[in-house]
Chain A
Amino acid sequence: MSDFAIGVAGLGVMVLMIALRFHIGLAMGAVATIGIWLIAGPRATSSVLQNIPYSFAANWEFSAVPLFILMGSIAHTSGMTTSLFRAARLWLAWLPGGLAIATNLGCAGFSAAAGSSLVTSISMGRIAVPEMLRYNYDKGLATGVVAAAGTLGVMIPPSIPMIIYAYFAEVSVGDMFMAGILPGLLTAFLFSLMILIRCTLRPELAPKIIEESDPAEKWRALLEVWPLPVIIFVVVGTIYAGIASATQSAAFGAVAALVIAAFQRRLSWPVLRDALLDTIRNSASLFFIIIGAVLLTRFMAYSDLPETVADMVIAIGVSELTLVLVTAAVFLVLGCFLDPIGLMLLVLPVFLPIYIAADINLVWFGILFIKYTEIGLITPPVGMNVYVMRTILPDIPLQVIFRGTAWFFVTELVVLALLIAFPQISLFLPSLR
């Protein structure tokens, strides 16, 4: 069997195992381990297993993840989020799918502080989904909106993947950040529009909240929402004021949540214990999946599968448009199996030289690339943002969340088509610099 064949067979077995309710982290990790063993031998397997899981835990940038989970957990278990959504309910009751739209816009706002999709989804998911479910929103819609809108975290600056891309492609980080703003806002807008249309056509997705409320009560409810905006302001504010780096700001957010909860006398020992245990459990199950995903990336590197697929497809592409469309196809397909870092490490190095040779604007391609990784986060079988939703909402089956993201996926394809057809959407703001 060739290395390429082992790669393909491995992915097939992995999908089968996931379908048969194996742990997802196990399906990825075990297939990867056996694949590496077959291709590169026992010594390579030993070296990979000795180094990889540990070095992904012992990672400074990754430390923001549990801290943001903690921040959301405290806000949730102490009941702060309930106040916010009470106000959202009173104010947005008239709008079909109002809470989902509010969540979507909340994700866009949070993206201005967070540089990663995982962090955006975790923070907003912890806050918004339980409340939407309380008002009998469709489970797929409630989780799908966070899984999909969480991906805005990497399109709206700051963005860790954009920084890495800029380094790879030797373009300016500032240009990339500017270029991401309009596509990010466009995505948030089209998501809102899609939610509005769907909830108008199918009101049962988001039951209208009919509540008699006098204006005074509405304003009173608004007065109670301050904790969450304050926490998010602390996160964003400490970053922009130069007090904290993006990683450190997570600690400020968690401390702010603790202090406010204590101040409101909502912080009891059970609340704190639940928030801690909740965070620890989520972090552990996320980490187990990430070990699997990272091992899978190593397996793919050994099997040469991504490079071979890319080479085959490049052989077809001739004109600029064919090249762009063909690239899109490759990234979307491989994005089903690989996380953004995997795509970045395995496929980007193959495509970049071709784009440079074809003299295609690398900032524009960068934005398309970020879009591909965003879409990959919500496509099965390996959809990291969907897994994140599952870790924080263990009662909702994975397939329900995947189904919930389907309409967002379709909307993403529309956005992608617009970004390909009109490069100015990406390139207009950088051109002003």
Chain B
Amino acid sequence: QELQYSTHLPPSVLVNSAGVEKVFDLVSKATGGEVTAKYFWAGQLYDSAGNFDAIRGGVIDTAFTQPASNQAEMPVNMMFSDLYHFGGDPYVTAAAVNATILLDCQSCRDEYAQANALFLGAHAATPAMTVCAREIRSIDDLRGLRIIGQQAVADWIGHLGSTQLDVPPPGQLEALERGTADCTNISPEWLTAFSIGEAAETIITAPIGSQFATSFMTMNSDTWAGLSDEAKTAFLQAMPQAIAAIVDGYVAADEEALAAAEEQGLTFTDLGGAYRQELDGFLSDYASRAAAKGEARGVADAAAIVAAFQDNIAKWQGIVD
């Protein structure tokens, strides 16, 4: 049985090379070659919104999807974008988001089911840092700048008194070099992956949160129902291994990128703890604000989801420590 996998990301990114291919390799091995994969990388077929549609229509068996691309249809799962700043240690965050969706949040799973889809697992990116193309010595140096960040950090950038710009990763180097933007919020890996290090001068080392509101293995429900029990078990066993491998890869890539940045002579600073302090102040009522945002979108059990996620973070923090 050949399963088609579609993603808008190119084959070289870790989610694909360390995650997706690993899942299918493991499943293929475990089923003695009964299940194989055909990959459509880099949007060869669909962009990220299109992949979700293709899963729903049964056109594709498995795909990378993200709630942000189909916001009206995934208000519950959008909650995990609103919880961005709770993202920390990627092992803990990844475990917590999967535990929340798979064990604690029936409405999250219902949303996938309504789209004829099944959530099999999410990874978590490593925490983002604020990287600037100029010298930053104090929190005041950050005010009034133009800072690149996704919608999830818009409030934080606004809180700093700065302007949020939405620039896709491939355009960020140019924006920083030309001065269209002053700073960006990125996983350190992007310093090399998107050459952003070439324009950077200061790296503020205080982590601000991470992206984990994605699903790199969304499966069509009928496809799942048609799998043998052996294959189903193989998928469920492969997922945690693949998620760990992705996170391992990101952690290593981050270390490498940060070492290169240090060699390059970039300034590393936490602004004497001031950045973290400012962020903590901003986050004092973050959980209740996130729940309110969810409720405004019509998510009935928003507060319960936030609480479950926080519990899972605490629980897995303990396990990892």
Contact = CB atoms under 8 A, between A and B. Distances in A.
Do A and B make up one complex?
yes
Interface of A: 40, 43-44, 46-48, 50-52, 55, 158, 163-164, 166-170, 172-174, 239-246, 297-298, 301-302, 344-346, 349, 352
B180 interface: yes
A166 B195 CA distance: 9
Given A43-B59, A47-B50, A241-B179, A345 B42 contact: yes
Contacts of A50: 53
B183 to A, nearest CB: 13
A174 B170 CA distance: 12
Given A163-B170, A173-B173, A174-B173, A345 B12 contact: no
A252 to B, nearest CB: 13
Contacts of B139: none
Contacts of B57: 43, 46-47
Contacts of A301: 40, 44-45
A245 B178 CA distance: 9
A51 B42 contact: no
Given A47-B53, A167-B10, A345-B42, A240 B178 contact: yes
Given A51-B49, A173-B195, A174-B198, 18 more contacts: A40-B59, A44-B59, A55-B50, A163-B170, A163-B171, A167-B10, A167-B193, A169-B12, A170-B12, A172-B198, A173-B173, A173-B198, A241-B179, A242-B180, A245-B167, A245-B175, A297-B44, A349-B42
B180 A245 contact: yes
Nearest to B175: A245
B41 to A, nearest CB: 6
Interface string B13-54: 000000000000000000000000000111111110110011
Contact of A345 (B43, B53, B175, B192): B43
A239 to B, nearest CB: 6
A46 to B, nearest CB: 7
Q: Is the interface of B mostly helix, strand, loop or mixed?
A: loop
B248 interface: no
B70 to A, nearest CB: 12
Nearest to A59: B47
By Cβ-Cβ distance, the 6 closest A-B pairs, closest first, are: A242-B179, A51-B50, A301-B44, A47-B59, A173-B195, A242-B178
B282 interface: no
Contact of B194 (A51, A158, A173): A173
A394 B171 CA distance: 35
B47 A349 contact: no
Nearest to A247: B171
B12 A168 contact: yes
Contacts of A242: 178-180
B317 to A, nearest CB: 33
A44 B53 CA distance: 10
A99 B175 CA distance: 35
Contacts of A40: 59
Contacts of A43: 57-59
Interface string B63-103: 00000000000000000000000000000000000000000
A403 to B, nearest CB: 33
22 contacts: A51-B46, A51-B47, A51-B49, A51-B54, A55-B49, A167-B170, A168-B10, A170-B192, A172-B195, A173-B194, A174-B195, A174-B198, A240-B178, A241-B178, A241-B179, A242-B178, A242-B179, A245-B175, A297-B44, A301-B40, A345-B43, A349-B10
